[in-house]
Amino acid sequence: MSEKNYKLNTKLIHAGVHPDPTTGAIMTPIYQTSTYVQAGPGDHKGYEYARTQNPTRTVLQNALAAIENGKFGLCFGSGMAATDAVIKLLAPGDEVIVSNDLYGGTYRVMTKVFANYGIKFHFIGMQDANNITQYINSNTKMVWIETPTNPLLNVIDIAASAAICKAHNLVLVCDNTFASPYLQNPLDLGADIVLHSATKYLGGHSDVVHGALIMNDAGLEERLRFIQNSCGAVPGPHDCWLVLRGIKTLHVRMQRHCENGKAIAHYLRSHPKVGKVLWVGFEDHPNHDIAKKQMRGFGGMISFTLKNDSMDEAVAVLKKTQLFALAESLGGVESLIGHPATMTHASIPREDRVKNGLVDSLIRLSVGIEDIDDLIADLEQAIG
């Protein structure tokens, strides 16, 4: 049977990975080298210099392509390095339409770095994908979506966004970090580029910072590979190896993240001190129908507010949890708790974030894979 026909749970372990040709090692070795010896000038085995290519990275790139149902994968030193590479496809005067509820670092690189290079970004609500159309003009080149969004867990219709992009010849970029390939495959729904912060669910163990792009179009791949090599934001082989090891258990981890996430979302919803609970799996989530259509499960990311919406109340909860560690990031086996207003989204002006629902008491959970009873007991004692 060809690798292409394997189901995801098999691909996660086997796709792109072959026993090492020199020793038969079942796990891809860490090729810790900067250069490769040539028999004569230009007479080499496809590897010349390790910024351009590294065998550990090649295996990971192929594995990532396979699990996102794409033809090509490219790895970067971080999710932001991957983001940086995608925006470098653009030129001064170009415009990008971006979902307004997105990772703070993405907002920051767009507004504080690339805006200075003459690229214009429109941040808009996309819960109704048709909103995109109003902002398209002759300079528009790209649409950038994140779904589910961070930290408000909004859902954007990928297929509807892709249809608009196709009609106007725009590149659709989808940040799939929150869902991971286990829950959602944006290329299948018409996206052109899938972006991952592999630091999160793909790595899965809070031990590596890494980014990836996956695509089907050979022209796009060539341009992005050129940027990857020219700008040089490549990951080291050890980091590639950690992500390669991480994705082998993505399906078993995600299954538990989803189960624990569901239990905690329902627990929080019944808590008298909790205000809103944002979780994609609730039937009354405004875009639950789209979530059901494009996702295979609802994940372990939950945000909630307190009935008493104050910074102080939120900080008191954050300080009291013992199992939920107060930290940036998400998607690891350990449960994390965070305060977007002062942590991940501190770079967004208060006025802008509150307008979008990112209020002072909003708390974000990345539900890990510990025992659910212990997790709920921890929240119970912290919220009081």
The set of catalytic residues is: 51, 103, 175, 200
Closest CA to 356 of 99, 20, 176, 73: 99
Pick the closer one to ligand PLP by CB: 175 or 360.
Answer: 175
Q: Which of residues 175 and 313 has its CB atom nearest to ligand PLP in the complex?
A: 175
Q: Could you tell me the two tokens for 244?
A: 């390669």
Residues in 129-168 that interact with ligand PLP by CB under 6 A: 146, 150
Q: At what angle do helices 237-247 and 55-67 cross, to 10 degrees?
A: 30
Query: How buried is 315 (Cβ within 10 angstroms: 0-12 exposed, 13-18 middle, 19+ buried)?
Result: middle
Stretch that binds ligand PLP, among 73-81, 120-128, 154-162, 312-320 (CB under 6 A): 73-81
Site string for ligand PLP, 163-192 (x = CB under 6 A): ------------x-xx--------------
For residues 60 and 57, give the distance between their C-alpha atoms in angstroms, rounded to a whole number: 5
Of 61, 78, 260, 294, which one interacts with ligand PLP (CB under 6 A)? Answer: 78
Q: Which of 154, 185, 197, 287 binds ligand PLP (CB under 6 A)?
A: 197
In whole angstroms, give the CA distance from residue 244 to residue 267.
34
Position 100 contacts ligand PLP (CB under 6 A): no
Of the candidate residues 55, 70, 73, 79, the single one contacting ligand PLP (CB under 6 A): 79
Exactly one of 11, 88, 200, 353 binds ligand PLP (CB under 6 A); that residue is: 200
Which of 117, 114, 175, 116 minimizes the C-alpha distance to 143? Answer: 175
At its nearest, how many Å lie between ligand PLP and the CB of residue 227? 16
- Asked if residue 201 binds ligand PLP (CB under 6 A), the reply is no
Under rule CB under 6 A, residue 206 binds ligand PLP: no
**What H or E segment, with its residue span, contains residue 245?**
helix 237-247
CA distances from 307 to 86, 278, 384 (A): 40, 14, 13
Q: Of the candidates 213, 99, 94, which has an alpha carbon nearest to the alpha carbon of residue 145?
A: 99
Which positions lie near ligand PLP, rule CB under 6 A? Answer: 78-80, 103, 105-106, 146, 150, 175, 177-178, 197, 199-200, 209, 211
